[in-house]
Amino acid sequence: MSDVIRMIEQLGRAARSAARELAVCASASKNRALAAAAGRVRASGPEILKANRTDIDAAGERGISGALLDRLRLDEARLAAIAAGLEQVAALPDPVGRELARWQRPNGLDIARVAVPIGVIGVIYESRPNVTADAAALCLKAGNAVILRGGSEAVHSNRAIHAAIVAGLDQAGIDRGAVQMVPDQDRALVGALLGAHESVDVIVPRGGRSLVERVQRDARVPVFAHLDGNNHLYWHRSADPAMAIDVIVNAKLRRPGICGALETLLIDSECLEHLPALVDVLAARGCELRGDLRACAVDARLAAAQHDDWATEYLDAILAIRTVDGLDAALAHIAEFGSGHTDGVLAEEPALVETFLQRVDSAIVLHNASTQFADGGEFGFGAEIGIATGRLHARGPVGLEQLTTFNYRVRGSGQIRA
């Protein structure tokens, strides 16, 4: 057995053992650990920023700049946000022990379905050091042990934040195995973690497309993730045009780089007359527009879209616009090109809206609302570890509830089976 596999197994055993205790850990203890970790993040601000400086310098030497460097950088405000994030998770209701269902059988057996932690969660992430704290907090609050593997460019920052979390665990008397960090940056450890189906119950990748793609391809462990957010809005003639334009502009431009951003507008041929008013707003805000022939014919400011545009998640201020004849054509386009993330309809006809909501098979389907609401915080989950487009267990924003599973507790009085 190779060294990396042995190392992951060791982490896995420690995690499994900690998870057993965490599963029955009082909410107060978990919350105390999170609060203490927040305090320690604040108290050791200078050390964390110094560690971050080391990472930033090394990144600079390797020629990393721009957005990548910005993701890596910590400052007082970001540290404060990390500490506040830990406290926010402490303040959320404990998802463990919820009675999800309970019923009695004719023979008197009382059956309860109760939320319990998943067990051990592996989190593989890239350059944002805040993920160290955010992921650890969510996993811990849901009673799971977590094995963290951050990007090598952030290794000193991550270790410093991890140390603060471990201090929090210590203060609450929680086993350090609850939040472990893969101890070195050997890339083979990622492979070993992805294959560790005995040690790890689920893997959550946090990062760019290539990371998620690699994790989904190589993992022998279930994965909560989304690869693309190629999201659509279908604009039906029954929608109020001003409302539709507001929502489309927000869905595309509020933050074009997030996975919930709108990528393709499906405009019904019966509302093409409103297209110029939309283009006025989008073009004024610097959005590039690519339309099919019919849309281009209505508004010359649109460039001609290519077939690839329908399949592209721009994550940028570019919108593809396709004309469709009616709901069925919109549904067919989404079924062909959608990525199952977030798709919506702009309309006022109730029957049409309900048909859309029933027939679009995406994690989130919306009516008259911006696709940018695809977010655990906006859903009221308090925090999220990511958004999943897989079909099993977790779908859509993955908050505390989806970081639990359940078992059945059957209470009897001596029942035997006939």
Chain residues in the site for a second copy (CB under 8 A): 20, 23-24, 97, 103, 105, 109, 111, 116, 118-119, 201-202, 222, 240, 243, 246-247, 249-251, 254, 335, 344, 353, 357-359, 361-370, 372-373, 378-380, 391-393, 395-396, 405-417
Least distance (Å) between residue 390 CB and a second copy: 8
> What is the distance between the alpha carbons of residues 56 and 72, in angstroms, rounded to a whole number?
7
Least distance (Å) between residue 294 CB and a second copy: 26
Nearest residue (CB) to a second copy, 105 versus 209:
105
Nearest residue (CB) to a second copy, 117 versus 168:
117
Nearest residue (CB) to a second copy, 224 versus 310:
224
Nearest residue (CB) to a second copy, 25 versus 49:
25
> What is the distance between the alpha carbons of residues 285 and 301, in angstroms, rounded to a whole number?
13
Least distance (Å) between residue 400 CB and a second copy: 14
Q: The dihedral of CA 122, 124, 128, 129: what is its sign?
A: positive
List the 145-149 sheet strands across, edge first: 179-181, 145-149, 120-125, 202-206
Residue 339's φ and ψ, nearest 5 degrees, are: -110, 10
Least distance (Å) between residue 300 CB and a second copy: 28
Q: Which residues does 251 contact at the CB level (< 8 Å), separation at least 6?
A: 231, 233, 261, 262, 344, 370, 371, 372
Least distance (Å) between residue 374 CB and a second copy: 9
Least distance (Å) between residue 407 CB and a second copy: 6
SS3 124: strand
Q: Which residues does 56 contact at the CB level (< 8 Å), separation at least 6?
A: 69, 72, 73
Nearest residue (CB) to a second copy, 72 versus 215:
215
The DSSP element (H or E) to which 320 belongs, if any, is strand 318-324
Nearest residue (CB) to a second copy, 86 versus 219:
219
Residue 304's φ and ψ, nearest 5 degrees, are: -75, 125
